[in-house]
Amino acid sequence: MKTNDQIITKNTDDALLWQALKRSEKAAFEILLKKYYTVVLNYGVRFYRDKEFVKDCVQDLFVEIWNRREYLSDVISVKSYLLQSLRKNIIRESTRLKWFREADKISEEQDFNVEFDIETYLISRELENESLQKLRSELDNLTKRQREAIFLRFTQDLSYEEIANIMDINYRSVVNLIHEAIKAIRKNWFISLFSSFLFIY
Amino acid sequence: MDSYRNFILEEFIQDAYFRQWALDELSVDDTFWENWLQLNPEKLKMIEEAKSLVIALKVKPIDVFTASEISEGIQDILNDTLDKHSTSYIRRINWLQIAASITLLIGLGFWYAGKDLLKSEYFEQLASTEPKAIHSNNSNKSMTFELVDGSKITLEPGSELRYGNEFGDKKREVYLSGEAFFDVKKDSQRPFLIYTGKLVTKVVGTSFSIKAYEQDDAISVSVRTGKVTVYRQNSKSGNSRSLSTEIVLIPNQKAVFEKDQELLIKTLVDTPVSINEVPQNSALTFEETKISDVFNRLEGIYGIKIDFDKEVFSKCSVTAHFNHESLYQKLDIICEIVRAKYEIIDGEIMIFGNGCQ
């Protein structure tokens, strides 16, 4: 097969890297590891604040992928596969920890830590907006699932389908989560950003 | 290009290219959106609103990990995945319940190393036997063939199977280096013997796989159906082949022989499969089911004994719905429900815990 002879570089696309990894090509594993390690780590820590715990989970995830490389199935997207697996592992492992360390205050439900950056944006551009308070309260009212969906969609650029897989909910629910969030915010929020800026042209 | 003309507000927000522009992440040379607005001035209001929303939904980056923590983390993983650690890897897949199939790991670069690796014990054994046939698989696909007695062998890449002239007459003896799956024709008069270094596997009629690569630190025998006897060959006793340790394996059990310590251990295969006719992934539902019934059910499906203290767990019940989970995943979930843990000991599953209120 032609593809077997392909030289693997940083720019090889994920699907080919995944195939190469399955054929035990360590270089492909290393490229994917370096490409996604930080993304996966930062996603994990939004779930569970214990840095070392998340780091261990991420390490187990990658080591397991390498050890099981011959049995891996094809994936539609490597990134969403990694996020989905880590999410599952963290939920499982942290639930298990809860049994053994009940003294520790691990919140009953998994949290998802997302902070919105609007203030930074406005300050850096010396903009003021009288509806900021309202926006803040709308953002604060978003559920953790909405936050997670928004994060995966808009920060991680994943498709609805990938998000549905990662969060283990159906496609329609993802669409609704995001749609409802946008609707709520849209009610009270508008910045006239470039009426002045368009002037340039 | 101009499908954007028909976009509604939400479609702009969903568009990665638009979002990049809204967040000033495009390069300064990229003036697509400015130009587009000039051509579509009637969309200005909508674009402004979409841009406001993209900005509102921007998530603050998280930076709890330092650059050095990240590079250390990557290095740790690379160290953990070096192939020379195959011993610890083999232990891992045995004792941790990582799902795996019967076909097993083939060391990186093994095919290129070629025949140099097939040597020592394997050839010593052959020295006294005049080979009648040699099947070696130098391709990169598994290879299936039938022996004169009707047994079917599937030989994995880089593996070799030999047997002597007398094969099939009075006895059935073969020598394996590498990995193969055996579907042995039943013949109680002539047991089928497979020699792999110091380990001998004896069967009457059954299917199972053996993994015995020269360069690996362990030999493993995994049973699919029937019953298999595995024993260590005492090398000093020459042809008499006295039996030292012998273990009997039933379906879903596996023997692992650690070459350096000459230790023969009984454990479970990496992915136990149903021993009955029921479809592999048929759903299994428990509703407030007593734990003893749950374990009985699993024992029936996988033919693996599950040991637990009936008194301690007498008040435990389980509500769960399983679809395609592996046995180990099912056990993980059940154990989580009743706050227990399990271990694989001597080819059986032991449940430990303090019971339920």
Q: Check: CB of residue B318 under 8 Å from CB of residue B286.
A: yes
**Is B60's CB within 8 Å of A24's CB?**
no
What ipTM is given for this predicted complex? 0.82
Judge: A116–B14 Cβ closer than 8 Å, yes or no: no
* Whole-angstrom distance, CA of residue B7 vs CA of residue B11: 6
pLDDT at residue A110 above 80?
Answer: no
Query: At residue A38, does pLDDT exceed 70?
Result: yes
Q: Which domain holds residue B317?
A: 284-353
- φ and ψ of A198, to 5 deg: -70, -20
Q: Answer with the one of B207, B241, B268 that is the final residue of a domain.
A: B268
- DSSP annotation of B8: -
* Residues of B whose CB is below 8 A from A33: 74, 77-78
Contacts of A58 in chain B (CB under 8 A): 73
Spell out the domain ranges in chain A.
2-100, 118-188
Mean pLDDT of A155-178: 91
CATH topology of domain A2-100: Rna Polymerase Sigma Factor; Chain: A (1.10.1740)
Cross-chain CB nearest to B56 (options A92, A99, A116): A116
Contacts of B76 in chain A (CB under 8 A): 59
Specify if B337 maps to a domain.
Answer: yes
pTM of the model: 0.49
Burial of residue A27 (number of CB atoms within 10 Å: 0-12, 13-18, 19+): middle
pLDDT confidence of residue B196 = 84
- Report which of B211, B114, B251 is spatially closest to residue A70, judged by C-alpha positions: B211
Nearest to B60 among A26, A45, A116 (CB): A116
CB neighbour class for A81 (10 Å; exposed up to 12, middle 13-18, buried from 19): buried
Shortest Cα distance, chain A CAs vs residue B49, angstroms: 6
Q: Where are the beta strands (DSSP E) in chain B?
A: 131-137, 143-146, 152-155, 159-164, 172-183, 192-196, 199-203, 207-212, 218-225, 228-233, 243-249, 253-258, 263-268, 284-290, 306-307, 317-322, 340-345, 348-353
- What is the mean pLDDT of each successive set of 10 residues along chain B, which is 357 residues long? 82 90 86 89 88 88 85 89 51 31 27 35 50 80 87 88 79 86 81 83 79 82 82 54 65 85 83 71 82 89 88 88 87 90 88 86
Give the length of chain A.
201
Q: Residue A99 and residue B339: Cβ atoms within 8 Å?
A: yes
**How many other β-carbons are positioned within 10 Å of the β-carbon of residue B111?**
13
Chain A residues with beta carbon closer than 8 angstroms to that of B38: 201
Question: Is A96's CB within 8 Å of B336's CB?
Answer: yes
The predicted structure's pLDDT at residue A192: 65
Using an 8 Å Cβ cutoff, are B108 and A26 in contact? yes
Q: Which two tokens stand for residue B285?
A: 């539902």
pLDDT tens, position by position, A78-99: 999 999 999 888 888 777 665 5
pLDDT for the residue A16: 87
Last residue of a domain, one of B268, B300, B329: B268
The CATH number assigned to the domain holding B256 equals 2.60.120.1440
pLDDT value of residue B215 = 78
Check B98 against A68: CB less than 8 A apart. yes
- Is B80 part of a structural domain of the chain? no
3-state secondary structure of B275: coil
Tell whether domain A118-188 is in CATH 2.40.110.10.
no
> Are B37 and B169 in a shared domain?
no
DSSP 8-state class, residue A108: S
- Cβ–Cβ gap B98/A62 under 8 Å: no
Cβ atoms of residues B291 and B307 within 8 Å:
no
Separation CA A136–CA A116 (nearest Å) = 9
Å from A2 to nearest chain B CA? 15
DSSP string, B302-341: H---EE--TTTTTT-EEEEEESS--HHHHHHHHHHHTTEE
Interface test with B, best of A23, A41, A127 (most B CBs within 10 A): A41
Using CA atoms, how far residue A185 sits from A160, A171, A178, B22, in Å, is 20, 22, 11, 17
Shared domain check, B125 and B171: yes
Grouping H, G, I as helix, E, B as strand and the rest as coil, residue A186 is helix
- pLDDT band for A132, please (50, 70, 90 cuts): confident
**Whether the predicted pLDDT of A198 surpasses 70:** no
Is there a domain that residue B174 lies in? Answer: yes
